[in-house]
Amino acid sequence: MTVFILRRVLQAILVLAITSLVVFLGVYAIGDPLEILLPADASMAERAQVTASLHLDDPLALQYWNFIVQALQGNFGRSFVFNRPALEVIFERLPATLELVTTSLILSLIIGIPLGFLAGTRPRTVTDETIMTGSILGFSLPNFWQGMMLIMIFSVWLGWLPSTGRGDTGTILGVRTSYATWDGFVHLLLPATNLALAQIALVIRLTRTGVQETMPLDFVKYARARGISERRILSVHVFKTILIPIVTVLGIEFGSLIAFAVVTETIFAWPGVGKLIIDSINMLDRPIVVAYILVIVSMFIVINLVVDVLYSLLDPRIRSRAS
C-alpha cells in the first residue's frame, strides 16, 4: 500500500510539471496582457514600467523558470488584476464552488439511486418509462436553459427562491458555509439543483443498468434460495455491487463539476472559481489561470486516489490483489 501511494505521488508530480508547462505556454500564446491591463492612451514609459514590474520582458524560458522556482515555494505569483497572490484569490473563491458541487453530488445520489432502483426493478413498466424519459430530459436539455427555467419558475413566477448570489454565510466548525444560515441555504438550492440535474440523470442510468445487470446474477438467485428477503437482497447484495461503478463515475464527475461549474455559476452569479476563471481568461490574468489549472489538476489527482482507496474498501478482491 505504501509503495502504491508513493508511486501515485511521483506520478502526480510528473503530471503537475507537464501541466504547468503546457498551461504556461498556452497562456503565453493567448495574447499580451498589457493590451488589456493598460488604458489605450498609456505612454511608452508607463508601458515599459508595467512590463518590467511584471517581468514580461524576460525570455519565455526564464519566465517559466522563475515561475517554477516561486511555485515550489508556494508562490504562484500575484494576480495582474487583483494585485493579490493568485492562490489567495483562488482559495477565497474555492469553498463556494466546493459547496455547490458537493451539494449537487449529494442531491444526485439521494434522488438518483432510489429512482434508479425503482426503474431497474420494474423494467418496461410505466414507472420505468417515466423515470427514464425524465432522465433523458436531464441529459439532453442544455444546462444553461435548465438554469434559466429554474429561475423563471421558482424565482420569477412563484417567487419562492432567490435567483442570484450566495446569500449570508455562517461558520460551522471553522468552515464558512451557506448551510449555517437559512438565507444561505435558500440561495444554494437553485444553483445546486441546476448543477445536479444532469448528475441525477446519470446516476439514475448507472443505477438502473447496474440493478438490471445484477438481478439475473446467480448470487441473487442463491440469496433467494436461502430465503433472504427481497428488501435485504436489494439494499445489501445489489446495492453494494452497483456502488463500484457509481463511485468511479462520480469520482470523475466531481472533478469535472468543479472545473466546469462555470455555466451554473455564471447564470446564478455564484461567487465561485468557475466565474473567476472565466473573468481571468478574459483579462489574460496569467497567474490566476495557471494557478487555477494546477489546483484543479491536483484535485483530480487527489480524487482519483480517493476513488482507488474506496474501490478497495468496496471490493475485497481488489484489496487482496493490492496487498
Is the Cβ of residue 68 or residue 217 nearer to other proteins in the bound state? 217
Identify the residue among 73, 157, 174, 226 touching other proteins (CB under 8 A): 226
Cα 24 from Cα 28, distance rounded (Å): 6
Residue 316 as a binder of other proteins (CB under 8 A): the answer is: yes
Q: Angle at CA 45, nearest 5°, toward 42 and 51?
A: 85
Least distance from C-beta 267 to other proteins, angstroms?
41
Least distance from C-beta 250 to other proteins, angstroms?
18
- Consecutive H or E run containing 176: strand 175-177
Neighbours of 34 (CB within 10 A): 16
Residue 219 as a binder of other proteins (CB under 8 A): the answer is: yes
Grid coordinates belonging to 306: 480517493
Residue 42 as a binder of other proteins (CB under 8 A): the answer is: no
Identify the residue among 68, 222, 256, 269 touching other proteins (CB under 8 A): 222
Backbone angles phi, psi at 85, to 5 degrees: -55, 135
Identify the residue among 121, 155, 237, 283 touching other proteins (CB under 8 A): 237
Residue 314 as a binder of other proteins (CB under 8 A): the answer is: yes
Identify the residue among 2, 124, 218, 323 touching other proteins (CB under 8 A): 218
Residue 307 as a binder of other proteins (CB under 8 A): the answer is: no
The answer to whether the CB of 89 falls within 8 A of the CB of 288 is: yes
Side chain identity, residue 266: T
Backbone angles phi, psi at 175, to 5 degrees: -110, 130
Identify the residue among 128, 183, 213, 315 touching other proteins (CB under 8 A): 315
Stretch that binds other proteins, among 66-74, 181-189, 225-233, 278-286 (CB under 8 A): 225-233
Identify the residue among 10, 22, 240, 322 touching other proteins (CB under 8 A): 240
In Å, how far are 15, 89, 179, 189, 258 from 254, measured between CA atoms?
19, 22, 20, 18, 6
CB hemisphere CA count around 102 (13 angstroms): 10
Residue numbers of the site for other proteins (CB under 8 A)? Answer: 216-219, 221-229, 232, 236-237, 240-241, 314-317, 320
